[in-house]
Amino acid sequence: GENVEQHPSTLSVQEGDSAVIKCTYSDSASNYFPWYKQELGKGPQLIIDIRSNVGEKKDQRIAVTLNKTAKHFSLHITETQPEDSAVYFCAASWNNAGNMLTFGGGTRLMVKP
Amino acid sequence: DADVTQTPRNRITKTGKRIMLECSQTKGHDRMYWYRQDPGLGLRLIYYSFDVKDINKGEISDGYSVSRQAQAKFSLSLESAIPNQTALYFCATSDSGYSGANVLTFGAGSRLTVL
């Protein structure tokens, strides 16, 4: 089955700096890679996703890059703000009707004002 | 009201007790899931259901059971709780269409402590 490794487990940055979280996956058949953000006391919420037919996707201050050859993908947050502080999870799956997501271990991001 | 509602939000119980966590949704989604979250281990799938008559084991189903009472309701039971089942539990839903099958909507979580 799929195995997803996520690094770092904790990340502390100054407000305004950039943050990068990296994930690697094991199953070369995986073609869908979402990122979820979990704020304190809440459930995870999808913030951005990427499919294997593209190498990069951006949405305002967040972007995700995918390297299928190396089987890794990354979340980039620019101009970090205190409200970016949360736990972030990457995941991978085949995006077909029956396949489940495999999640990474999570990264706790702390943005210091 | 939340799209996915979990009850209770917090529960403390003793070893050997039976516990039920309940989940209801207003998304109209066919698919429902139960996940367990432990520090450093991410979210691990316990059980999932693609419709009312469909129940499937996930990665870590031992010690758990589920019931899909209706399209909108999916409950998780621990028949005899043990301390290593202390965790944060999430219910999630998703659409059944190709583009939405892996887009999960999570509840706020149920924190269970087994003493």
Distance, CA of B57 to CA of B49 (rounded, Å): 9
pLDDT, one tens digit per residue, over B75-94 is: 999 999 999 999 999 999 99
Is the pLDDT score of B39 beyond 90?
no
pLDDT at B50 over 80: yes
In chain B, pLDDT over 90 holds for what percent of residues? Answer: 86
User: What is the per-residue pLDDT for B98?
Assistant: 65
CB–CB contacts below 8 A, A to B: 56
DSSP bridge pairs for B112? B11, B87
C-alpha B2/C-alpha B109 separation (Å) is 12
Mean pLDDT estimate for chain B: 93
> Which residues in chain A have Cβ-Cβ distances shorter than 8 Å to B92?
43
Give A35 or A31, the one with higher predicted confidence.
A35
| Residues on chain B touching A106 (C-beta within 8 angstroms) | 40, 42
Q: What is the pLDDT of residues A77-96, one digit of tens each?
A: 999 999 999 999 999 987 55
The whole-number average pLDDT for the span A29-48 is 94
Q: For residue B50, list chain A residues with Cβ-Cβ distance below 8 A.
A: 98
Are B42 and A89 in contact (CB < 8 Å)?
yes
- Contact criterion met (CB below 8 Å) for A97 and A105: no
Contact check, Cβ <8 Å, A105/B41: yes
> For position A2, what pLDDT does the model report?
85
- Contact check, Cβ <8 Å, B40/A100: no
Whether the per-residue pLDDT at A39 is higher than 80: the answer is yes
Query: Which residues, 6 or more positions from A1, have their beta carbon under 8 angstroms from its beta carbon?
Result: A27, A102
A49 touches A32 (CB < 8 A): yes
Measured between CA atoms, the residue of chain B closest to residue A9 is B40
Mean pLDDT of A95-105: 77
Q: How confident is the model at residue A67 (pLDDT cuts 50, 70, 90)?
A: very high
Q: Which chain B residues contact residue A95 at CB under 8 A? A: 98, 101-102
Residue A93: DSSP 8-state: B
Strands of A72-77's sheet in order across: A4-7, A19-25, A72-77, A62-67, A56-59
> Residue B47 has what pLDDT?
96
pLDDT at position A97 over 60: no
For residue A8, the model assigns a pLDDT of 97
Residues of B numbered 37-76 whose beta carbons fall under 8 angstroms of chain A's beta carbons: which are they? Answer: 40-45, 48, 50, 58
- For B37, nearest residue in chain A (alpha carbons): A105
Average confidence (pLDDT) over B92-109: 83
- List, in sequence order, every residue forming a beta bridge with B106; answer none if it has no partner: B92
- H or E segment at B111? strand B110-114
What is the pLDDT, as a whole number, of residue B100? 64
Which chain B residues are Cβ-neighbours of A34 within 8 angstroms? 102-103
Q: Which residues contact A100 (CB under 8 A, 6 or more apart)?
A: A93, B45, B48, B58
Q: What's the maximum distance between 2 C-alpha atoms anywhere in chain B?
A: 42
User: For chain B, first and last CA: distance in Å?
Assistant: 32
